Amino acid sequence: MEIIADRDLCIGAGLCVTSSEAVFDQDDDGIVLLLVGEPEGADADAARQAVSLCPSGALRVEE
Amino acid sequence: MTQAPPLPPLHMQRDRFDPVPELAEVREGPGIRRVQSVFGAPAWLVARHEDVREVLADASRFSNAGGLAMRMPGDTRSAEEKRRAMAGQMLAADPPDHTRLRRFLTPEFTVRRMRRLEPRIVEIVDEHLDAMERAGSPADLVPSFALPIPSLVICELLGVPYADRDEFQHRTGRQLDLSIPMDERVALQRESRAYMDRLVAGAKADPGEDVLGMLVREHGDEMTDDELAGIASLLLIAGHETTSNMLGLGTLALLRHPDQLATVRDDPESVDAAVEELMRWLSIVHTGVARTTTTEVEIAGQTIPAGELVLCALPTANRDPGFVDDPDTLDVSRGAMGHLAFGHGVHHCLGAPLARMEMRIAFPALLRRFPRLAAAVPFEEVPFRAFHFVYGLHSLPVTW
């Protein structure tokens, strides 16, 4: 699976970072940074949760 | 004979912690119902979790900038005065305007930034617990704990003199109380606006290390003074009227569920989940800002023409059995994000990381300091505030 992060849509809510600090970070402006594009195992589950939580629709997953 | 108090509009009606059964009937039945909004204009009330998420996620078909939701009968302000008052009001803006304004603020509300604030929040909580202890039992938890902690935090973060808080709290509390006559609320809005204008002028003359100072330094040439005043006003109101009500109402909810209170008090690992569950179960923001349809839409099987108001019933959506099992039961062990108490979509609460951190620190600290904390009045006598844009308690007398 691959995680896609659209930084133009991001509103900096930070729920992705709260879901997985291994996969996501925020830059100095609070906008999402993808640390791992193709997470595996527990990281993949956490990343999926982040995609479902993302309020602005900035994250999606491609299987 | 005294007259029975008028009922608030259906979407605000609660039986203490619970949305009224009529709202669950909307959710379990048609999923949507025609209601009267606060000022009498007709609106559509959406009640299921999935449908509410869909409306909130779609800013292009469900607009916050429609203006209809902000139009209040009896509002005597001139068009120019209203235009100035709306500048910087992110809750009344759609993308790309909304995105531009929100991005000025996102650096101040990152997860990392909140962690830097944590020691100061711990200190503020401890100081208030010390003061309560010194003053002795009994106390009213609202003015001694629930209100001043978020108030001090947002005043410091934003750069508002804490000495001004009493005056400000009084104003915002009444501005958002829908039972207050419109002319008085307009007067309060004007006073509040004049205060914000002075605050912005001060920050421009001498920008500090706070959020206002940062906005002036980093974005001063990209924003009008009206936008600065609007943003400051929104943050200050949001910072006062939300977390404080969660702390008061959440404490009462835990006092009514002693086994869960003990979990929050004794198990540090339980606190994150407990905060999410309290947020879900209490859902203190009834609907947030009403959306205006920009085109003909279909939601919950109902076709709605363009230009109509849509209200999202957040408490009902958060208690949708399609979202969680046994939704009317408070169970702090199951708490997870995904509830809609902070909203959803581009208007998802900017201050959510701050609110979460304040609650994660304040609830266990209070319960550990006063392990015998108890309500000082019978449950039936605790005054819930029925007419407020944000649900909560007027007061919570406690002993320890």
CATH of the domain at B91: 1.10.630.10
Strands (E), chain B: 14-15, 18-19, 32-36, 42-46, 62-63, 139-140, 291-293, 297-299, 302-304, 309-312, 374-375, 384-385, 392-393, 397-399
Q: Which residues pair with B303 in a beta bridge?
A: B298
- Of B110, B348, B353, Cβ closest to residue A55: B348
Sheet holding B309-312, edge to edge: B32-36, B42-46, B309-312, B291-293, B62-63
Residue B3 inside a domain? The answer is: no
Residue B1 inside a domain? The answer is no
Answer yes or no: is B2 within a domain: no
Q: What is the pLDDT along chain B (400 residues), one digit of tens a residue?
A: 445 567 888 999 999 999 999 999 999 999 999 998 877 789 999 999 999 999 999 999 999 997 665 666 677 788 888 888 888 889 999 999 999 999 999 999 998 999 999 999 999 999 999 999 999 999 999 999 999 999 999 999 999 888 887 788 788 778 878 788 888 888 888 888 899 999 999 999 999 999 999 999 999 999 999 999 999 999 988 988 899 999 999 999 999 999 999 999 999 999 999 999 999 999 999 998 999 999 999 999 999 999 999 999 999 999 999 999 999 999 999 988 899 999 999 999 999 999 999 999 999 999 999 999 999 999 999 999 988 889 999 999 999 9
Residue B14, both tokens = 């609660």
pLDDT computed for residue B84 by the predictor: 83
Walk me through the domains of chain A, giving residue ranges and CATH numbers: 2-62 (3.30.70.20)
- Residue B190 belongs to some domain of the structure: yes
- Write down the pLDDT at residue B1: 43
Number of domains in chain B: 1
Domain, as residue range, for B275: 10-399
At residue A5, what are phi and psi to the nearest 5 degrees? -115, 120
Torsion over CA: B136, B141, B147, B150 (sign): positive
Contact flag A55-B57 (C-beta cutoff 8 Å): yes
Q: Which residue of B has its CA nearest to A28?
A: B107
B348 close to A (CB below 8 A): yes
Cβ contact, residue pair B345, A12, below 8 Å: no
Would residue B20 count as lying in a domain?
Answer: yes
Distance between CA atoms of residues B150 and B235, nearest Å: 12
Q: What is the pLDDT of residue B3?
A: 55
Q: Is residue B4 part of a domain?
A: no
CB B345 to CB A17 under 8 A?
Answer: no
